[in-house]
């Protein structure tokens, strides 16, 4: 059964079980491997994408729920906020292994959209769902502050 998906500004026909989590549709069917699997149970945030602008854990979001919605992945994240965050991530050399960082960035984009000048408590709330085993938390926090200043 084909489902029509709208991802990063393009339409795709996907032939998959409508219960399939969006994560596996993106990775296995569309080849968008920037979105990562880390737990499958909404505990790590590695799979974070935006659905109609809000952050979602794609590992627990069935395909049928996003039919007709606009999905944005790390590959398609653009705009001033996303680019300011990327620049800060590079400037402060945030990533170590990098595996969690797509999810971190997608959560950070959503945070800065909702709260343009977050304080530390806002960052705790916005980023608590994203685990990093390399423990880059200190730099993530600093990079979000830096990006927020840069966006103005």
Q: Per-residue x/- mask for other proteins, residues 25 to 64, rule CB under 8 A?
A: --xxx-xxxxxxxxxxx-xx-x------------------
What is the DSSP track for 94-143? --SS-TTHHHHHHHHHHHHHH-SS--HHHHHHHHTT---TT--HHHHHHH
Q: How far is the CB of 18 from ligand FES (least distance, A)?
A: 19
Residues 6+ apart with CB under 8 A from 151: 80, 81, 84, 112, 116
Q: What is the DSSP letter of 62?
A: B
Whichever of 2 and 41 has its CB closer to ligand FES, that residue is: 41
107-146: contacts with other proteins (CB under 8 A): 120, 123-125, 127-128, 130-141
* Whole-angstrom distance, CA of residue 141 vs CA of residue 119: 10
Whichever of 3 and 130 has its CB closer to other proteins, that residue is: 130
Q: Which of 64, 93, 119, 149 binds other proteins (CB under 8 A)?
A: 93
81-110: contacts with ligand FES (CB under 6 A): 95-101
């Amino acid at each position: 059964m084909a489902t029509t998906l709208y991802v990063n500004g393009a339409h795709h026909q996907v032939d998959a079980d409508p219960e399939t989590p969006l994560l596996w549709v993106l990775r296995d069917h569309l080849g968008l491997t920037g979105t990562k699997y880390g737990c499958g149970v909404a505990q790590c945030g590695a799979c974070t994408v935006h659905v109609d602008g809000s952050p979602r854990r794609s590992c627990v979001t069935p395909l049928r729920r996003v039919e007709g919605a606009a999905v944005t992945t790390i590959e398609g994240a653009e705009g001033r906020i996303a680019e300011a965050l990327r620049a800060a991530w590079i400037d402060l050399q945030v990533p170590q292994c990098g595996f969690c960082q797509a999810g971190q960035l997608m959560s950070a984009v959503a945070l800065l959209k909702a709260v343009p000048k977050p304080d530390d408590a806002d960052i705790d709330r916005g980023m608590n769902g994203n685990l990093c085993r390399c423990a880059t938390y200190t730099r993530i926090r600093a990079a979000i502050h830096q990006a927020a200043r840069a966006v103005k």
